[in-house]
Amino acid sequence: MSVDGEVSRRIVVVPTYQERETLPAFLRELEPTGFEALVVDDGSPDGTGEWADEFARAHPWVHVLRRGGKEGLGSAYRAGLGWCLERDYDAVGQMDADLSHPPEALARMAAELERGADLVIGSRFVRGGRTVGWPRWRKVQSYAALLPTRLLLRLPVVDVTGGFKLWRADALRRIEVGTTVSQGFVFQIETTQRAARAGLRVAEVPITFREREVGVSKLSPAVKREGIVVVLRLARRPWRPTP
């Protein structure tokens, strides 16, 4: 990274499981951003990993990490983020493959890093952000979950469950991301809490979040239960940064 904060080597980690229908469109929209992509596939039976391998052979900006089976979102991100840190990228992002996160927002997020932020969250809930395709009951449910989590973990972030993130690479090292414990979507909360406790500079930029049009959500009842258990554990025994 240059002295003035420029993030020249940029990559996003994209976990996939059964995303053969959505991944091609996602990569087409990502390509103009100048970001590279690391697809972390957990042995998708629908051939997502095989398709990604073939695509990557013709597109050097795409990389693929194939894993043996479905091990959870948190596990996939730990593997993918570690892969990127080993290769000295300056900025490392997290995105879904279903186009719920808009790739065009990456430019605004990278600009926040260059202005001094350590972590930038693409936020659905700050002023200017919105969700498209959610029924009213789901919006109410989401807001109802956010407030107690923010209060319980004392987080100065609005979209605490947001999964669209861009990290300065050194920030991921400071939060010791490889030692996180979450397996499911609560990984997003755990890493945001670590960022706050490490004193990192966190910014939120508004995005339009769109409900996926193809495929099915991976947010199972078991994943939701893990989220509750882990949040309570994080409140009782919060991670402490290494001096």
More confident residue, 214 or 49: 49
Say what the alpha-carbon torsion angle 22, 51, 219, 123 is, to the nearest 10 degrees: -50
Q: What is the mean pLDDT of residues 166-188?
A: 95
Rounded Cα–Cα distance for residues 172 and 1 (Å): 14
Q: Which two tokens stand for residue 206?
A: 């508004």
- Mean pLDDT of all residues in the chain? 90
> Residues 210, 100: contact at Cβ < 8 Å?
yes
pLDDT of 104-119, one tens digit each? 999 999 999 999 999 9
Query: What are the extents of the domains in the chain?
Result: 10-236
The predicted pLDDT at position 185 comes to 87
Rounded Cα–Cα distance for residues 68 and 89 (Å): 25
- Tell me which amino acid residue 98 is: D
DSSP 32: G
Nearest CA to 168 out of 112, 223, 123 is that of 112
Sign of CA dihedral 4, 119, 112, 16: positive
Helix (H, G, I), strand (E, B) or coil at 143: helix
The predicted pLDDT at position 155 comes to 92
2 has a pLDDT exceeding 70:
no
Nearest CA to 219 out of 147, 106, 146, 138 is that of 138
What's the CATH fold of domain 10-236? Answer: Spore Coat Polysaccharide Biosynthesis Protein SpsA; Chain A (3.90.550)
The predicted pLDDT at position 214 comes to 63
pLDDT of 116-162, one tens digit each? 999 999 999 999 998 887 777 766 767 767 888 888 999 999 999 99
